[in-house]
Chains A and B, each alone.
Chain A
Amino acid sequence: MDLEELLEIGQQERDRQQQKKTRIRCCTAAGCLSSGAETVKNNLEIAVIEAGLEDSVEVCGVGCLRFCGRGTLVEIDPNGILYEEVLPDQASGIISALSEGDKNREELPRQSDRNHPFFALQMPLVLENSGKINPERIEEYIAVGGYQRLHHVLMEMTSAEVIEEISKSGLRGRGGGGYPTGLKWATVAKMRSPPTPLNKGGVGQKYVICNADEGDPGAFMDRSVLESDPHRILEGMAIAGYAIGANYGYIYVRAEYPLAIKRLEKAIQQAKKYELLGSQIFDSPFDFKIDIRVGAGAFVCGEETALIGSIEGKRGNPRPRPPYPAESGLWGCPTLINNVETFANIVPIIREGSDWYSSIGTETSKGTKVFALTGKVSNTGLIEVPMGTTVRQIVAEMGGGVPDGGKVKAVQTGGPSGGCIPAEFFDTPVDYESLLKLGTMMGSGGAIVMDEETNMVEIARFYMEFCRGESCGKCVPCRAGTVQLYALLSKLLNRQANQSDLEQLEALSYMVKETSLCGLGQSAPNPVLSTLKYFQQEYLDLI
C-alpha cells in the first residue's frame, strides 16, 4: 500500500457514492439497534427495490446519529432531513416522500429540527465521521481522508515532532484525570525497556493500550465512537505507536459492548488486509499490530494498573504507583495507556495542526468534549461541545430541561467517582479545573440530569452500593470503608440515624478518600461528600 493506492481507494469509494443521487443513512449503533434499527434498515432496502429506485438511492447503516433517546434515526442525504422514532412500517412512506415530497405528512415519522441547540451548539471533531460513514467498511473511512495522517506522520515527521505537535495542542486525557497527553507520550518515548532474550539487549518492546473499559454507569461516549468510527482509533493508536516507539497495541473493551467488539474486530481485519496495520506500513520500517482484549465485567479494570493485570490474564487488582505504567507496565515494559476519546482526537490534531486545536476551548482545557446526556432530560443523546461551554447551555438549551416542565436539581458528572453540580452553579464553564473546584470531575463524560423528585441521599447510596460491589478487595480502606459508608447511608435512609452518624459519615468519607490504594477507593466517597456539601438539608431531614 502506498499513498497513491490509498487515494485511489478513496476516490473509487467517493465515485461509487456519487453514482446514487440519494443516500439514506440509518443509525445502527447499539441504542437504535435495540429500538429496531435493523428491521427499519431492511424495510427501507425493500421499499427502495419496490419503488424501483435502486439506481438512484442507497440505504446504508451508519454509526451514531446522536439523538439516542429518539431512535431509530434515519437521515437523508443530500437534503439533510433527520427522521426520528422511525418505525419499520414507515419505511415505504420515507421512500415515497423522496419523489413525491412530504404531502402524506401523517404517514411520515417526525422530523428533527436541525437548528435546535441540541444540534446547533455541537462541534463535531471526535464524532466528525460518526453517523456519516459505514463503520463496517474501511473504504468509507478512507474516502473521508482516513489513514492519510498515518502516512503523513510516517513519511514526513519524526517521532519527536509528533510528540511536540500533540504537546502543543494542549490535549489532555479524556478518561477523566486530564493528564497532558503530550507529556505522557514524551515520558514513554524516553523510557528504555528492559532487555529480553528476544531483543538481545537492544531496544525492547513497548506497548500502546487503548482503554475502552467504559465502566461509569450512564456514560456511553466511547461505545459510540468505537461503534461509529473504529478506524479512527486504530489510526490514532498507530500514530501513538510510531511516536513512542511501540509496535504492539491492545484495545481493552468491556464485554458488555458486543457490537463495539465486533466492529473493532472487523476494522482490524480490514486494515490488515489493506496493509495499514502489520509489518512495514506504507513501506516504512514501522510495524504495528493491534489486538483486542475483552474484559469480563469489572469496573476496577478501568484503572490502568488493574487493566494491565487483566490483559495479562490475571485478576484486575490495582498495584501501587510508582512505578507508573509509562515506566513499567504490561509485562514490565513501558506502556502508554490512553482513553478511546484521547486517541480519537489524534487524527484531527495532526490534520489541522496544534495551533488550530489549541484555539478551541479554554485556557487550560483545549479541544472538545463528548458528553452522554441522560437522565431526566428531554433530549437524551450524545453531544460534543467545545470546552468552556456552560453547564446551563448543555442541560437547559441542548438537553431541553426536564420533560413535563419539571425543575432541574443537579447534574451528576464523573460517575461513581464524581459529584454533582447543583442548579445554582450551572453557569460554570465545563473544563477540568472548574469542575474540580466544584468538587466533581470531568470524568469520562457522563452527564446525568436529576430533577426535584430525585433524592440525593438515595443517589449517594446508589453510587456507594456500586463501589462496594466493585471494590477489588485488595486494600482495607476501600473494601471495608465502602461497606461501612453504605451501612451509614442505609441507616440514614431508614431514618434510624442521628447527628453523630452524620459526622461519622463525613469523617469516614475523608478517611477512605485519603488512604485508598487506587482511584476507585480514592474517589468512591466523592458522591457522598458532594451531596453533603450541596444538599446537606436532605441529610438533616432524615435525622
Chain B
Amino acid sequence: MQTTKTKTEPNKVDQRIKLLDITMKRNHYRQDALIEILHKAQSAFGYLEPDILEYIARGLKLPLSRVYGVATFYHLFSLKPSGVHSCVVCMGTACYVKGSDRILTALEKELSIHVGETTSDNQISLMSARCLGACGIAPAIVFDGTVIGKQDPETAIEKVKAIEKSKVIRSKEWI
C-alpha cells in the first residue's frame, strides 16, 4: 500500500493493520465492500478510530466523508472505545413485554452509567439491542458474546457482579 507512509499512518503498524490490508486486497479494493471492511476493522481494533477510517478511505479510494457517513449510520459500528466486557440487553418487543426495561434500569443503577456508556474503570460497556431473535427465551442478555435467556433484574446484576470480580480479559466481540 502506497499510503502507509503518509502522515496519518496509524502509529501501531501491527498485525491488525496487516489484517486490514489483506481484507481490502481480498475484496479487490472494491468500494462496495466498505461495510465488510469496516466490520473486519472493528473486530480487529475494537472500535473505529479516525485514523483507521482514513486508512480505509485511502485504500478504497473513497472520500473520507463517505466512509465516515457509513460508519456513523450503522448502529454496530462504534467510534468510541468500548469496555473490556460487554453487556447487551435485548430491547426487542418480546423481551420488553417480559420486562427487559426493568433489567436495563437495574443495570444502569448498579453500574451507575447510562445505556451506551462504559464504566469509568473501562471494565463494562452497557448496551441495548433491537432484537436478537432469541425471543423464545425472552428476556435475553448478551454477556461478552454469550446469549443468556430468561433473565430478571436480580440474575442480571449477579452476572455483572461476577464480571466485575473476574480479572479475565477476553477479546471483545459483539455477540
B38 touches A31 (CB 8 A): no
Q: Which of A294, A311, A415 is the one whose CB lies under 8 Å from B93?
A: A415
Which residues of chain B have a CB within 8 Å of any CB of chain A?
30-36, 38-39, 66, 69-70, 73-77, 91-98, 129-138, 140, 146-149, 174-175
A298 adjacent to B73 (CB under 8 Å): yes
* Across-interface contacts of A214 in B (CB, < 8 A): 133
Number of A interface residues at 8 Å Cβ cutoff, please give it: 54
* A313 contacts partner chain B, Cβ-Cβ < 8 Å: yes
Do A34 and B129 touch (CB < 8 A)?
no
**B133 surroundings in chain A (CB, below 8 A):** 30, 214, 219-220, 223, 256-257
A-B contact pairs, 10 of them (CB 8 A): A31-B136, A31-B137, A34-B146, A34-B149, A219-B135, A296-B76, A314-B70, A372-B135, A374-B94, A454-B97
How long is the Cα–Cα vector from A415 to B93 in the complex, in angstroms? 8
Residues of A within 8 A of B94 (CB): 217-218, 374-375, 380, 446, 448
Q: Give A contacts to B, CB under 8 Å.
A: 30-31, 33-35, 68-69, 71, 214-220, 223, 255-258, 293-299, 310-316, 372, 374-376, 380-382, 412, 415, 446, 448-450, 454, 459, 462-463, 466, 470, 472
**Cβ contacts under 8 Å, A69 to chain B:** 136-137
Contacts of A215 in B (CB 8 A): 130-131
Bound CA span A295–B76, Å: 9
Cβ of B31: which chain A residues have Cβ within 8 Å of it? 313
Neighbouring A residues of B75 by C-beta, 8 Å: 296-298
Q: Which of A218, A295, A296, A472 contacts B131 (CB 8 A)?
A: A218
Contact between B92 and A218, CB atoms less than 8 A apart = yes
Are B35 and A310 interface neighbours, CB within 8 A?
A: yes
A256 to B174, CA, bound (A): 9
- A317 to chain B: closest residue by CB: B73
Query: Considering the chains assembled together, what is the distance between the CA atoms of A446 and B96 in angstroms?
Result: 14
Cβ contacts under 8 Å, B140 to chain A: 34
Interchain CB contact under 8 A, A255 and B39: yes
The CB with the most chain B CB atoms within 10 A, among A449, A454, A462, is that of A462
Whether A374 lies near B175 (C-beta < 8 A) is no
* A382 CA / B132 CA spacing, docked (Å): 15
A448: B residues at CB distance < 8 A: 93-94, 97
